[in-house]
Structure 1
Amino acid sequence: MREDFLHYIWQHQYFDKVDLRTAAGEEIQVLRPGYRNADAGPDFLNARLRVGEVEWNGAVEIHLRASDWARHNHQTDPKYDQVILHVVGSHDADVARTNGSIIPTLALQPRLLPELLGRYQALVETPGPATLPCAPLLHLIPEITKTMMTERALLERVERKADAVMALHQHLGQDWEATAYHALMAAFGFQKNSEPLARLAKAVPLAVLRRHRHDQRQVEALLFGQAGFLTDNEETSGDEYIQDLKREHAFLSHKYQLQPTALQVHEWNYLRLRPANFPPVRLGQLAGLLHARPSLFEALLTAGSVRALSEFFQAPVPAYWRTHYRPGRPGKVPALGKSSTDLLTANVVVPLRVAYARHVGQAALVETIVALLSELPAEHNQFTDMYESLGFTHRTAADSQGLLALHKNYCGPRRCLQCAIGSRLVQQPRVA
């Protein structure tokens, strides 16, 4: 049994309340269990209880064992002085506040409903990550419950991404153009190279890039030079294009003192990537985009359709990077595909617009912004395909994003009790 099960039991009061008493024998009446605390401090706040003849208002703390109180050093933390009841699985120690006063303890283990505990354990103790803990029981769940949970997971995912955009916005001095630039650079890494591209955005400051956006050659020199791709080797020594960019980068790097922030070529990832996804190819596409689209934020904010966004991302690529997938190594390179522009819309445009809507006090627009995802085709990978095979709706990118969030934040870590599907299955064995 995990502590989150006791949280769930207390929150919903799913335990035997007949002759409810503390470990010391005092009668307990739960008038209000309190509400979950998402911040530091006790687990439930604003609880209302009657213990013996006294009515209390305060907090409730929950542990598997009463002795966990001391293990977590709550006896020295004033935040826990407001605790009026210590709810535990088993009572193996008395606990006290910082002033030494004993806190009443309620042991729930003897009061748990065996069938409830059994259904919970059947969910969270299912071995292996390959399938869902609830897979054998999904036929018992109404379609509306699955749909609502997927939509909830989607909104949580979008909000978390918007939170990251807002944090970036704060870090960049509340400059929305810089925020769009950094977010776009990281997203062009498509997971495998997101981290080095995020660092490249710092290595090529937007203030410097703005001064040279009109000159595509200088934009390429800044990006490829700071990325560490303009090095001499057998393939590049006779390549005049690379040598020309190298000379231009040397001049710009000295002018703006950029060399200390430059990346090294070994910091980029090529493992299990198709040539069309190689970092220099993506960087060439970015160079074309940054040269041709001088106002990133305004364009990403105002584009009226998925088609307009796709056209925005598919800016003309420099000629060299249409015929080379590594410096000095020729090969026919396809243009940025629609699946890539769809991912950029989902991972950059939607979070950026949600963050901006919140920033200007137009949170009501969030649902409309998220609806953009319903205009994009569904993504397919091992996780979305698994959910689809189990009967979850999977028609658009909104479904895909929701299913991915469901897996990452609920099914994978076995947070079944926080999921509407798992909670429903634990509460009752027959729901349909």
Structure 2
Amino acid sequence: MPRGFMQEDFLHYVWQHQYFDKTQLRTEQGDDVVVLRPGFRNADAGPDFLNARLVLGDVEWNGAVEIHLFASDWHRHQHQTDKKYDQVVLHVVLTADQPVHRTDGTEVPVLALAPRLAPTLLAAYEALLTAPAPDLLPCAAALPTVPELTRLMMVERVLLERVADKAEQVQDLHAQTGHDWEMTAWLVLAAGFGFKKNTEALTQLAQALPLPVLRRHRHGLRQTEALLFGQAGLLPPAAEAPDAYCAELRREYDFLAHKYQLMDSALPAHTWNFLRLRPANFPTVRLAQLAAVLHAQSRLFQPLLDAPTVATLEKLLLVPVSEYWRRHYRPGVPAAGAVPALGRSSAHLLISNVVVPLRVAHARSLDNQAAVEAAVDLLAQLPREQNSVLAPYEALQFRHRTAADSQGLLALHRGYCQPRRCLHCAIGSRILQRNVPTAR
């Protein structure tokens, strides 16, 4: 079988689940093989499986198993000079093309699986690996054979993985802030208002604009806007301001920037992405919305943590912007009509991507599993998301009722379907399992 078709990960999967014909199993050296325990996957450097228990000939061995597509890969990876691989008692390969040895020169027993893999299993694996149409799932053609319960359990599993990953990012931020939850909430909320296209820019802005300064001036919405827009690099000099309001913001910013020594950390205007964004998503509009939230709240963390319902969180986030930003998408450029306010769908994205990870991170820091579950349950109170990534899953009859389903399907797509990690997915594994002969 050509090297290009097969991936080593598939042999790991086959060995872990013992999905091969074990009739008269023998090494290339002629010793009978009995697998008592295949071992446990090793996530660190060294052999692929540890603590395997095997009978080779008349001797029982406890040791490691190394897996390659070709036996010669042992030498290609320089294992013959690495003492970590001296513990290998069996070298499992697709094709045995040459003998291999440990550092002391002793030969490693080799087991070749190529003649022992069921053609149906190989065909199912190839179908997953080479399925066309990138907008569909690799397993789309075989999905009718997968029970709905398997789908539901996989989506729930990856939802928890996604939430845990986001919570870990929040915990990292929390550590970087010196374990200041208020500062953490500011950084996470600001990034959330970037809505993907400007997430990095808003993260930089939040880091460049000290929260204590914003707090000190939050009672004046105009000062809050001056700090945000000025530090963002989006205000021209007062002498070049397109209108009186922008000139006033710039003068206010210049005064505050001098007072708090902010100028050196101000962002250049080219940091921000306007291209291919609808005007309602312009970063200037999002900054005005963020300014309104900051102006309305004396604190960020505790209200986001304690809000009991989605409706309460909506009230925290859906705050009217200043009169100027109800009529402008960009400084000095009046809109033809009213500028749309932050919508409920955007507020729901902020709850999903900011509030839930923030709450989970805080609950994990207290080792409060009940609070973790309550935070995740908040997603089930939100309506489902609608986007082009999720549409194919709906078409293939995946359950999609709430934001919890949306987040789970997004995690499935980005973590498993798009990179074709079918071997690590319960759905892909079920499809392959159906193609393994019962007697093996």
- Quick one: percent identity of the two aligned structures? 62
CA distance in 1, matches of 2:319, 2:87: 60
Q: Which stretches in structure 2 are left out of the alignment for 5+ residues? A: 1-5
CA distance in 2, matches of 1:254, 1:233: 15
2:241 to 231, 237, 241: 237
Aligned: 1:342 with 2:340: no
Please state how far the C-alpha of 1:429 moved relative to its aligned partner: 4.8
Deviates more, 1:153-162 or 1:251-260: 251-260
Cα distance, 1:20 vs structure 2: 1.9
Which region of structure 1 is more displaced relative to structure 2, 363-372 or 291-300?
363-372
> Which residue number corresponds to residue 390 of structure 2?
384
Contact 1:292–1:316, Cα closer than 8 Å, also in 2? no
Q: 2:135 aligns with which of 122, 126, 130?
A: 130
Aligned to 1:304: 308
User: 1:68-87 maps to which residues of 2 (within 5 A)?
Assistant: 68-87=73-92
Letter in 2 for 1:327: P
| CA positional deviation for 1:80 | 3.5
2:188 is the alignment partner of 1:149: no
SS in 1 for 2:390: helix
Q: Which amino acid aligns with 1:145?
A: T
Q: Work out which of the residue numbers 249, 255, 259 in structure 1 matches 2:253.
A: 249
User: Aligned pairs, how many?
Assistant: 429
Q: Is 1:20 equivalent to 2:3 in the alignment?
A: no
Give 2:53's match in structure 1, choosing from 29, 48, 54: 48
CA-CA distance at 1:98 after TM superposition: 4.4
* Structure 1 residue 297: Cα displacement: 1.0
Give 1:283's aligned amino acid: L
Q: Which residue of 2 aligns with 1:418?
A: 424
Where does 1:183-222 land on structure 2 (aligned, <5 Å)? Answer: 183-222=188-227
Letter in 1 for 2:428: G
Residue 238 of structure 2 contacts residue 250 of structure 2 at CA under 8 Å; is this kept in 1?
Answer: no
Q: Answer yes or no: is 1:228 the counterpart of 2:233.
A: yes
**Superposed CA offset, 1:185-216 (max 9, x none):** 11111111111111111111223323333333
Separation in structure 1 between the aligned mates of residue 223 and residue 107 of structure 2, nearest angstrom: 71
Residue ranges of structure 1 left out of the alignment (5+ in a row): none
Distance 1:195 1:134 in 2: 34
| Cα distance in 1 between the residues matched to 2:198 and 2:7 | 37
- What SS is found at the alignment partner of 1:383? coil
The residue type equivalent to 1:295 in the other structure is R
Helix, strand or coil for the counterpart of 2:90? strand
Say whether the 8 Å CA contact 1:180–1:352 is kept in structure 2. Answer: yes
Could you say which residue in structure 1 is the equivalent of 2:286? Answer: 282
TM-score by length of 1: 0.94
Cα distance in 1 between the residues matched to 2:262 and 2:57: 71
Q: Aligned-pair distance for 1:24? A: 2.2
TM-score, reference length from structure 2: 0.92
Quote the offset at 1:78 in angstroms. Answer: 4.5
Who is 1:95 aligned against? 100
Given that 1:35 and 1:44 are in contact with CA atoms closer than 8 Å, whether structure 2 keeps it comes out as yes
